[in-house]
């Protein structure tokens, strides 16, 4: 993915390629094994927990600088046949301090839910406009509170 290129088709191709390259059994296993090895290093076991917490928070913060958005795909939600006529769709949200998209599908409905700490919603508007421009039916629900409707609670 080239910086400055915001073409959705290119982004989809790039993400697809990265997922196929990196989500292999071998690569995931190697990553998990490397992390597990750290648990057994004797010197690390001697370091007090509060110091480990500080170090981990620092590295977590550094890794977040390279992350622009996270996607959690819950997948297909299944319900018993006798309940299906009463349920139209499912929503999934994550509590996060960055921008996150959660997605799931139920019957013929796929839901994409954005969670973000940003007040502006340009990212979401542009994302759904791109889908709509491609002929995908989009229904938007939001919890945005207009300034006139906002009342500070003390």
Residues 111 and 125: their CA atoms lie apart, in Å, by 15
What is the pLDDT averaged over residues 29-35? 85
* SS3 state at 101: strand
Burial of 47 (0-12, 13-18, 19+ CB in 10 A): exposed
pLDDT in tens, 118-146: 778 888 888 888 889 888 889 888 776 66
pLDDT in tens, 50-87: 998 898 888 878 877 777 788 889 999 999 999 999 99
pLDDT band at 151 (very low <50, low <70, confident <90, very high): very low
Of the candidates 126, 111, 100, the residue with the CA atom closest to the CA atom of residue 77? 111
């Amino acid at each position: 993915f080239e910086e400055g290129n915001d073409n959705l088709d290119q982004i989809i191709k790039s993400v697809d390629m990265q997922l196929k390259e990196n989500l292999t059994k071998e690569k995931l296993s190697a990553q998990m094994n490397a992390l597990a090895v750290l648990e057994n290093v004797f010197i690390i076991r001697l370091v007090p927990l509060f110091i480990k917490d500080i170090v981990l928070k620092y590295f977590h913060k550094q890794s977040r600088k390279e992350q622009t958005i996270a996607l959690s795909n819950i997948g297909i939600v299944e319900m018993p046949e006798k309940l299906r006529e009463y349920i139209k769709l499912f929503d999934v949200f994550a509590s996060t301090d960055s921008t996150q998209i959660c997605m799931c599908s139920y019957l013929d409905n796929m839901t994409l839910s954005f969670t973000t700490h940003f007040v502006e919603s340009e990212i979401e508007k542009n994302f759904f406009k791109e889908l709509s421009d491609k002929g995908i039916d989009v229904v938007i629900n939001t919890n945005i509170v207009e300034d006139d409707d906002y009342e500070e609670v003390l």
